Chain A
Amino acid sequence: MAESEEEVDVLVQRVVKDINNAFKRNPNIDEIGLIPCPEVRYNRSPIVLVENKLGVESWCVKFLLPYVHNKLLLYKQRKQWLDREALVDITCTLLLLNPDFTTAWNVRKELLQCGVLNPEKDLYLVKLALSKHPKSPETWIHRRWVLQWLQKECSPSEQELKDHAEPREDAARRQCERLQRALQEEMRVCADAAGRYPSNYNAWSHRIWVLQNMAKGNLKVLHDELSSTRLWVSMHVSDHSGFHYRQHLLKALARELSQVGETELHPTKQPNGESTAGASDDNHHNDVIPQLFHEEMELCTDLIESYPGHETLWCHRRHVFYLWHQWRREHLQGAGSQSPPLTHTDVLLSEEPCDDSSTSQTMDVDCVLDGSKHGSYTQDTKRLKRGPLLPHPALPSEHTFVSKILTGCRSTEQNRFAIAYRKWLDSVIGQ
């Protein structure tokens, strides 16, 4: 059935109106999708709203998209005028159908700059678009632009603070709460998208961007993220991006905590309201960092043993061990101005793990740790008499771990990865 241009025009206007009405009727729409429905039905609205889900019947899309798309292009080429309201509606419709369409997002950036659009609305539109297209690069890029826009435009200026009656501390506190909420929302959006597509590079790199741009140096956020992603990665053992995020968190925590440890520790308030780790204990950072690495290696061991043959887990092990190895090197050679009193940990740490195994004290300690119990670090802890030992990953214990895996398991892939890990230890670490 051939459609006249008038018929298409009427249809499109109706669909755009229906979509907008749906949002007005239900501001809690949290997911959009296509409903497979090839039969053309001019009399019925192709827009379906059920609870918080917005559906578009597929038959209308092939009319809708080219028409609306061409309208926007004509506007950009200055061949046809569209008023602001029309632009908002058209770009919204377009982006719900095809969020890779860069120009449509950029039109919305311009509208935002003019003050026609509310940035929160675009964050919402991005979130919806991601529910259907969790990878879409342009969508993530637009989200970052809006967030940066909000940061620039919405932080109160000195003059604004003077103008308002409320005291500065209240304004700062409200700002801090706003930031907290914004952070939580970003993590939620990232987590949703990560769950919708395996190893979602764009979702996880956005999450890192958020840490770097909205939570810089924020130890609490780093710790919270480490806790909250632990379960997630345990249930997504192939998700290389998820594990990489944890590597990033560890690296950031180690860096921040080390910096804190080297200066005189006075709790300071950061602009975001969070305290630095102004721990009363000078040795705090020296114990926390090894503890973090120890726990991560333990997690990695558990997962490797529970889920044989996952390359991601072995990559994670490489990276975590490397970070630990590097941190240990830096903190042996660095002339620590605030060297804490020697603990048992330090005795172990003071041994170069790369030395030939038979000579270093570390080796002796490790040999005392019964060979058959490697991997169960907590049992080893109890064997040593000099106070609480913090068992740490070391080259010899890693080799023992590999041997254990190789002798125990029959998965060919697991064996392959274990051998590759050993080769990596020898080539990269054991230089």
Chain B
Amino acid sequence: MCQTGTQVKDVVIKPDAPNTLLLDKHADYIAAYGSKKDDYEYTLSEYLRMSGIYWGLTVMDLMGQLSRMNRRNLQNLEDKVVDYVKGLQQEDGSFAGDKWGEIDTRFSFCAVATLALLGKLDAINMDKAVEFVLSCMNFDGGFGCRPGSESHAGQIYCCTGFLSITGQLHQVNADLLGWWLCERQLPSGGLNGRPEKLPDVCYSWWVLASLKIIGRIHWIDKAKLRNFILACQDEETGGFADRPGDMVDPFHTLFGVAGLSLLGDEQIKPVNPVFCMPEDVLQRIGLQPDLLS
């Protein structure tokens, strides 16, 4: 019956993995991204284009390199955006992702984050919106995509972010959720999104930001996590991958850098854990969502 050891799902960080932050390489990587892509890859990732713009701009700003990105003039779409978001709220307070009607707590977060940035949170039925998100809270303190769904670090980030923006963080069981979140840390130092999943650098953001929002970031072994994130860098191309040795992409680059910022790296601008944007940007528009202490 006795066995000496089970294979825990985790990675092993090689001794020659990167252990310093290669900021210049990452800035070069993002600045050049897209310009060299061949037709096929570019097409494959087209559905990510809008998100990609956000990832690229945000990470460059965090690194103080925003000036290297091309600027474009955006028309004043504010009212249309508010109406669009408002129109997506359902009777039970949930939000659809678009006109086709898929419900997910991610969209609740996107809705209130969008409106908060525009200063138009009053456009929606706040009580109902909160009621729906709270109905997605599970026995372990976590949140899923819909009521009754499995707790997932990404959804938890969205829901704690939502509750922060709407001033409802007191409804969270911070100790219980904090415990679930810090159980995401594996021996390698990396974080996963659910039990028995491999660590992934983007969870350094989803989990870490959630912990910061609920005031429990000190429950994580910060040094080990930093070690893991640094090991996910590619010394040759720049950028971060989901885990050491894999291919890099802008998505993981943003969340790797943002995670390091939350851990206190002084070479990176402070990042806001709710919006995943530089704090100075939010200060400029006077947006300071609640955090638990």
Among listed A29-37, A44-52, A226-234, A304-312, interface-contacting one = A304-312
Q: Let me know if A144 is at the binding interface, CB within 8 A.
A: yes
- Closest A residue, CB atoms, query B101: A145
Q: Let me know if B145 is at the binding interface, CB within 8 A.
A: yes
Cβ A66 vs Cβ B40 within 8 A = yes
B54 to chain A, nearest CB (A): 17
Cβ B2 vs Cβ A408 within 8 A = yes
Cβ A410 vs Cβ B4 within 8 A = yes
- Closest B residue, CB atoms, query A61: B40
- Closest B residue, CB atoms, query A410: B2
Cβ A103 vs Cβ B6 within 8 A = no
A409 to chain B, nearest CB (A): 6
Q: Let me know if B39 is at the binding interface, CB within 8 A.
A: yes
Q: A69-B46, A318-B140, A412-B5 are in contact. Are A148 and B40 (CB under 8 A)?
A: no
Cβ A66 vs Cβ B39 within 8 A = yes
Q: Which residues of the other chain, A, contact B3 by a CB distance below 8 angstroms?
A: 308-309, 409-411
Complex CA–CA separation, A241 to B47 (angstroms)? 27
Cβ B43 vs Cβ A66 within 8 A = yes
Among listed B81-89, B193-201, B282-290, interface-contacting one = B193-201
Cβ B8 vs Cβ A240 within 8 A = no
Q: A101-B47, A106-B100, A240-B195 are in contact. Are A411 and B4 (CB under 8 A)?
A: yes
B36-66 residues with Cβ-Cβ distance < 8 A to A are 38-40, 42-44, 46-47
- Closest B residue, CB atoms, query A251: B148
Q: Which residues of the other chain, A, contact B149 by a CB distance below 8 angstroms?
A: 205, 208
B181 to chain A, nearest CB (A): 14
Q: Let me know if A344 is at the binding interface, CB within 8 A.
A: no
Q: Let me know if B144 is at the binding interface, CB within 8 A.
A: yes
Q: Which residues of the other chain, A, contact B46 by a CB distance below 8 angstroms?
A: 69, 73, 101
Cβ A145 vs Cβ B102 within 8 A = yes
- Closest A residue, CB atoms, query B102: A141
Query: By CB atoms of chain B within 10 A, which of A201, A319, A428 has the most?
Result: A201
Q: Let me know if A183 is at the binding interface, CB within 8 A.
A: no
Q: A209-B146, A311-B196, A409-B1 are in contact. Are A70 and B43 (CB under 8 A)?
A: yes
Complex CA–CA separation, A61 to B38 (angstroms)? 13
Q: Which residues of the other chain, A, contact B38 by a CB distance below 8 angstroms?
A: 62
Cβ B47 vs Cβ A310 within 8 A = no
Q: Which residues of the other chain, A, contact B100 by a CB distance below 8 angstroms?
A: 106, 109, 141, 145
Number of residue pairs spanning A and B whose beta carbons lie under 8 angstroms apart: 105
Q: Let me know if B150 is at the binding interface, CB within 8 A.
A: yes
- Closest B residue, CB atoms, query A97: B44
Complex CA–CA separation, A206 to B150 (angstroms)? 11
Q: Which residues of the other chain, B, contact A312 by a CB distance below 8 angstroms?
A: 195-196
Q: Which residues of the other chain, A, contact B150 by a CB distance below 8 angstroms?
A: 201, 204-205, 240-241, 244
Cβ A310 vs Cβ B6 within 8 A = yes
Cβ A411 vs Cβ B2 within 8 A = yes
Cβ B39 vs Cβ A144 within 8 A = no
Complex CA–CA separation, A186 to B284 (angstroms)? 50
B127 to chain A, nearest CB (A): 23
Cβ A98 vs Cβ B44 within 8 A = yes
Q: Let me know if A390 is at the binding interface, CB within 8 A.
A: no
Cβ B9 vs Cβ A238 within 8 A = yes
Q: A61-B40, A412-B5 are in contact. Are A319 and B139 (CB under 8 A)?
A: yes
Q: Let me know if A414 is at the binding interface, CB within 8 A.
A: yes
Cβ A199 vs Cβ B1 within 8 A = no
- Closest B residue, CB atoms, query A211: B148
Complex CA–CA separation, A103 to B195 (angstroms)? 33
The 8 Å CB contact of B47, one of A61, A102, A326, is A102
Q: Let me know if A75 is at the binding interface, CB within 8 A.
A: no
Q: Which residues of the other chain, B, contact A365 by a CB distance below 8 angstroms?
A: none
Mask, B131-156, CB within 8 Å of A = 1, is 00000000110001110111010000
Q: A103-B47, A241-B150 are in contact. Are A199 and B4 (CB under 8 A)?
A: no
Q: Which residues of the other chain, B, contact A428 by a CB distance below 8 angstroms?
A: 176
Complex CA–CA separation, A383 to B43 (angstroms)? 70
Q: Let me know if A346 is at the binding interface, CB within 8 A.
A: no
Mask, B160-199, CB within 8 Å of A = 1, is 0000000000000000100000010000000000111100
Q: Which residues of the other chain, B, contact A201 by a CB distance below 8 angstroms?
A: 150, 152, 194
Q: A208-B148, A240-B150 are in contact. Are A199 and B139 (CB under 8 A)?
A: no
Cβ B145 vs Cβ A199 within 8 A = no
Mask, A54-77, CB within 8 Å of B = 1, is 000000011001100110010000
Known: A209-B146, A238-B9, A409-B3. 20 other contacts (CB 8 A): A66-B39, A98-B43, A101-B46, A109-B100, A144-B102, A201-B150, A208-B148, A240-B150, A241-B194, A308-B6, A309-B5, A311-B195, A315-B140, A319-B139, A322-B139, A326-B139, A408-B1, A410-B4, A413-B5, A413-B8
Which residues on B are within 8 Å of A, measured CB to CB? 1-6, 8-9, 38-40, 42-44, 46-47, 97, 100-102, 139-140, 144-146, 148-150, 152, 176, 183, 194-197
In order of increasing CB-CB distance, the 7 nearest A-B pairs are A309-B6, A62-B40, A66-B39, A244-B150, A66-B43, A311-B195, A238-B196
Which residues on A are within 8 Å of B, measured CB to CB? 61-62, 65-66, 69-70, 73, 98, 100-103, 106, 109, 138, 141, 144-145, 148, 199, 201, 204-205, 208-209, 212, 238-241, 244, 248, 251, 305, 307-312, 315, 318-319, 322-323, 326, 408-414, 420, 428
A-B contact pairs, 14 of them (CB 8 A): A65-B40, A66-B43, A101-B46, A204-B150, A240-B197, A244-B150, A309-B3, A309-B8, A312-B196, A323-B139, A408-B2, A409-B3, A410-B2, A413-B5
